[in-house]
Structure 1
Amino acid sequence: MGKLLPIVLLIAGLAVGVGVRLVLAPSDKAKEPAEAAQIPKADKTNKSKKGKGDDSGVHEYLKLTKQFVIPVVAEDEISALVTMSLSLEVRPGIAEAFYEIEPKLRDRFLQVLFDHANIGGFDGAFTRSDNLGALRKALLEVARKDLGQDVSKVLIMSVSRQDT
């Protein structure tokens, strides 16, 4: 009898657990809105939907494959290095065209970033919104030269500065 009691308690515990699960489980009606609210998994081009204030409502986010490294020069010497990761918010379907011209786009972005560094854009409080806003605007103009109006935003994914 002493060896049988633990087995009976185990079976009773399992039965109670299954019963509680059935009673407390959400109904099928409750599952549907939760499933509809889930964000679809991102594919290679990171497709995302946006509902408010947008013409098409759908964008792709294309990440430039490598970080940008920008030297900050002071008194003819490198005083700091800034690293930055960028992505573009674009109209769906231009991913192939983007990846074909990415080297050209990276070159133009680097020139904008170098110019920004040379006018002191990465000095002091370089992460102020007005400072980064001007940089985003300049990068957007360059992106639109190559990709047209299909580019709606340039997103700064990360930025850091390492003083030497």
Structure 2
Amino acid sequence: MLKKLLPIVLALIGTGAGVGAGLFLMPANGDVPDVADNAVVKSDGLHTAADSHKSDPHGGEGNEYVKLNNQFVIPIMGAKRVEALVVAALSLEVSGGASQTVYAREPKLRDVFLQVMFDHANIGGFEGSFTSGDRMEILRSALLDAARSVLGSDVQDVLITEIARQDA
């Protein structure tokens, strides 16, 4: 009988301890961040997403981040065949309200971005230690120039959010 009762008692004690800890650790003044307010927690405290733009290094209060819909696949050619594939995902930091323009011009953006990445691959930019700071800065700078040729000065930065190389 004790063997059947012990797991139930332990479960009730564990549940009670969890509820008690939750009540004990709950903020007293009700400063619980609301997910609907897009709160962002930083190491120096609680800031809302609107506050995070004020510390933007580009000085662009109200900038938006636009993730391009699909990844970019860049073949790395050898002498006679594809030796590897590089897959990259990009986002753009644009002035507030420019996200619709980005989506409207996305086909042209994808075209110029692919051309930049093909050129980067052809000069050996994706060989060896392709994620080193210098190589990534060269690629980012070329992508930023290409983005500005399509969207103008609304583009603040190009962010490489994912990049991977798969050897064949």
Q: Same fold (TM over 0.5)?
A: yes
Match of 1:138 in 2: 142
1:47-126 matches, within 5 Å, as 49-52=52-55, 53-126=57-130
Distance in 1, Cα, partners of 2:81 & 2:23: 70
Distance in 2, Cα, partners of 1:128 & 1:143: 22
- Say whether 1:40 aligns with 2:38: yes
Match of 1:8 in 2: none
Deviation for aligned residue 1:41: 6.5
Q: Secondary structure of 2:27's partner?
A: coil
Match of 2:46 in 1: none
Q: What value does the CA root-mean-square deviation take over the aligned residues?
A: 3.3
Distance in 2, Cα, partners of 1:133 & 1:147: 20
The unaligned stretches of length 5 or more in structure 2 are 1-12, 41-48
Distance in 1, Cα, partners of 2:25 & 2:89: 46
Contact kept, 8 Å, 2:62 with 2:96, in 1: the verdict is yes
Change (3 A) 1:125 1:149: same
Q: Deviations over 1:14-48 (max 9, x none)?
A: xxx999987765322xx33x538x97179xxxx76
Distance in 2, Cα, partners of 1:19 & 1:86: 45
Q: Secondary structure of 1:35's partner?
A: coil
Q: Secondary structure of 1:51's partner?
A: helix
Match of 1:26 in 2: 27
**TM-score using structure 1 length:** 0.75
* Matched residues, number: 145
Q: Secondary structure of 1:160's partner?
A: strand
Distance in 2, Cα, partners of 1:35 & 1:70: 42
Distance in 2, Cα, partners of 1:65 & 1:123: 26
Larger Cα Rg: Structure 1 or Structure 2? 1
Change (3 A) 1:115 1:54: closer
For 1:90, the aligned partner's letter is V
**TM-score using structure 2 length:** 0.73
Contact kept, 8 Å, 2:33 with 2:39, in 1: the verdict is no
Q: Report sequence identity in percent.
A: 46
Q: Secondary structure of 2:63's partner?
A: strand
Q: Secondary structure of 2:111's partner?
A: helix
Change (3 A) 1:24 1:153: closer
Deviation for aligned residue 1:57: 2.4
Deviation for aligned residue 1:109: 0.3
For 1:105, the aligned partner's letter is L
